[in-house]
Structure 1
Amino acid sequence: MRLVFAGTPEPAVPSLRRLAASAHDIAAVVTRRDAPLGRKRVLTPSPVAAVAAELGLPVIRADRLDADVTAEIAALEPELGVIVAYGGLVREPLLSLPAHGWINLHFSLLPRWRGAAPVQHALIAGDARTGAAVFQLVPALDAGDVFGDFAIDVPPGATAGELLESLAEDGAGLLAGIVDEIAAGSAVARPQHGEPTYASKLGDDDGRIRWDEPAVAVLGRIRGVTPQPGAHTTIEGARLKVLAAASAPEGAPLLAPGALALHAKRVLVGTATTPVALDRVQPAGKGAMPAADWWRGLRDTALVAGS
């Protein structure tokens, strides 16, 4: 089939590579415009744009799929649109433009966690299982019939970045197989069943650690917002990023929520239940460092996180 692929961040790259290596023809790759990155704010192509250029595929850069972009895609006469984490909505008339419409690879077990940040919300909520699904795009948010999915157990200690990387690789194979089935006329989609939950885009406040929550919820939040938007707390008004944390070692003392202590060379912070151990942190204005090194630089050891 003749395809149009829409995607932007790194998790969309495995799907693009897989489809580019298939028998299908990618007429164009749609991705968001180059964005300023780094301290020098250098305009940088999206990961999908960079790979499309490497593969010699035509690229349409657009932050919105407006009338001009719709006309540009219409001229390509695609039979199927494929979208993976593009970062924008596909509306009519573009939605119905390809003969087979658009399909979307989504990183959750629909209808759980429809929306922009499914992997992050799954970890924050403490889900034991997650997965990915390929569904028919419809006007309602992530509500279309599902062509196929797979489920996995959430790996212990996995961050959102690590889990998304794994799902993106496995999801690329699922997506490619379903594109083949649509081309062969053998694809069958089923309606979604169950009560939907929604995964809104995360903001900075979602990364603020709530030390008055149980340890399992604290660790779920830290892992769910890593690497973006990032977990953080405050120590006497100064921001501290928490890059990695784990359950406290056996025999660790109980601490009041937010109270810090050093035990067995581990920096502990109290929660509503057992403490958590900070492994890697980044103080304001400094680079990332082991939490024990940060602790040795403190003058006052009677500190409370969140203060």
Structure 2
Amino acid sequence: MRIVFAGTPAPAVPSLDLLAAGPHEIAAVVTRPDAPLGRRRVLTPSPVAARAEELGLPVLRAARLDDTATGAIAELEPDLGVIVAYGGLVRAPLLAVPRLGWINLHFSLLPRWRGAAPVQRALIAGDAVTGAAVFDLVEALDAGRVYAELERPLDGVETAGELLEELSHSGAGLLAGVVDALADGTAEATPQIGEPTLAPKLSIDDARLDLTRPLREVDARLRGVTPEPGAFALLAGERFKIHAGRPAEDAPTLPAGRLHAQDGRILVGTADHPLELLVVQPAGKRAMPAADWWRGRAADAEEVLA
């Protein structure tokens, strides 16, 4: 088949790699335009654009899939559109351009967590299991029939970044299998069953830890917003980033937000059990081990996170 692949961030790259190594022709790769990154705001290709160019594939950069992008894709006469985290909606008439329509690799078990941040929302909510699904793209958000899915039980220690990296690889295999099945006419899709939940993009407000909540909820949110947008609390009115932490074993009960050092561990209280801080970043400083930060702070420094 002739495939048009649409994707932008790093989690879409394993799918592009696997499809490019397979029997099908990738007629073009559609991705978001180069974006300014770093302190110097240097225009940088998306991870998918960079990989596509390494593979020698034609790249179409489009901020949105409008009439211009639709016309360019239609000229390629694709059999199938494949989308993995492109960052924009596919609407009519583009949905009808490929002979077999579009399929999407989504990192959740649909209909749970439809939207932009399914992995992050699953962790924040404390779900026991998540996974990936390949479904038939329709105009309604992530509402199409499901061709295949895989489950991944959650063990309560993974961060969103770690989980997304894992699912990007296992999901790529799931996606490639569906593409092959569509090519040979054996693919079957079933309607989604259950009550949908939504996974909107995370804001900076989602990343603030509420230390008056139980440890289970604080830890889940910390892992769910790591590495982006990055967990934080306020220390003396300034943002105090928490890059890594874990539930503290055999630790004293502390008031919510209270910082305390014990046996080389830096603890902070929640509504019940303390959280151990592992890697932190005070305002205006680099990230560092929490114990190093504690030793270097002033004697009269604030000792409560809010």
TM-score of the alignment, normalized to the shorter chain, above 0.5: yes
Q: Deviations over 1:220-243 (max 9, x none)?
A: 101100111110111111211100
Residues in 1 aligned to 2:146 and 2:254: alpha-carbon distance in whole angstroms: 47
Instruction: Find out whether 1:278 has 2:284 as its counterpart.
Output: no
SS at structure 1 position matched to 2:277? strand
The residue aligned with 2:145 is 145
Q: Which amino acid aligns with 1:239?
A: R
Q: Which amino acid aligns with 1:78?
A: P
Contact kept? 2:235, 2:302, Cα under 8 Å: no
Aligned-residue offset at 1:154: 1.4
SS at structure 1 position matched to 2:228? coil
Instruction: Find out whether 1:65 has 2:43 as its counterpart.
Output: no
Residues in 2 aligned to 1:261 and 1:230: alpha-carbon distance in whole angstroms: 22
The residue aligned with 1:234 is 234
Matches within 5 A, 1:147-296: 147-250=147-250, 252-296=251-295
SS at structure 1 position matched to 2:12? helix
Contact kept? 2:160, 2:223, Cα under 8 Å: yes
Q: Which amino acid aligns with 1:149?
A: E
Residues in 1 aligned to 2:199 and 2:130: alpha-carbon distance in whole angstroms: 13
Instruction: Find out whether 1:42 has 2:42 as its counterpart.
Output: yes
The residue aligned with 2:133 is 133
Residues in 2 aligned to 1:155 and 1:170: alpha-carbon distance in whole angstroms: 17
SS at structure 2 position matched to 1:52? helix
Q: Percent of counterpart pairs with the same letter?
A: 64
Q: Which amino acid aligns with 1:52?
A: A
Aligned-residue offset at 1:156: 3.4
Instruction: Find out whether 1:32 has 2:68 as its counterpart.
Output: no
Change (3 A) 1:190 1:82: same
Residues in 1 aligned to 2:79 and 2:213: alpha-carbon distance in whole angstroms: 50
Aligned-residue offset at 1:31: 0.1
Q: Which amino acid aligns with 1:167?
A: L
Q: Which amino acid aligns with 1:256?
A: P
Q: Deviations over 1:55-110 (max 9, x none)?
A: 00000001100101100000000010000000000000001111111000000000
Instruction: Find out whether 1:103 has 2:69 as its counterpart.
Output: no
Residues in 1 aligned to 2:183 and 2:127: alpha-carbon distance in whole angstroms: 35
Residues in 2 aligned to 1:302 and 1:283: alpha-carbon distance in whole angstroms: 12
SS at structure 2 position matched to 1:49? helix
Q: Deviations over 1:105-124 (max 9, x none)?
A: 00000000000000000000
Aligned-residue offset at 1:177: 0.4
Contact kept? 1:13, 1:51, Cα under 8 Å: yes
Q: Give the RMSD, CA atoms, in angstroms.
A: 0.8
Q: Which amino acid aligns with 2:144?
A: G
Comparing 101-110 with 234-243, which one deviates more in the overlay? 234-243
Moved over 3 A (4+): none
Residues in 2 aligned to 1:161 and 1:277: alpha-carbon distance in whole angstroms: 20
Aligned residues: 305
The residue aligned with 2:52 is 52
SS at structure 2 position matched to 1:173? helix
Contact kept? 1:260, 1:301, Cα under 8 Å: no
Contact kept? 1:132, 1:150, Cα under 8 Å: yes
Q: Deviations over 1:165-184 (max 9, x none)?
A: 00000000000000000010
Aligned-residue offset at 1:136: 0.2
Contact kept? 2:135, 2:147, Cα under 8 Å: yes
Residues in 2 aligned to 1:254 and 1:155: alpha-carbon distance in whole angstroms: 25
SS at structure 2 position matched to 1:197? coil
The residue aligned with 2:21 is 21
SS at structure 1 position matched to 2:89? coil
Aligned-residue offset at 1:286: 1.1
Residues in 1 aligned to 2:182 and 2:302: alpha-carbon distance in whole angstroms: 63
SS at structure 2 position matched to 1:206? helix
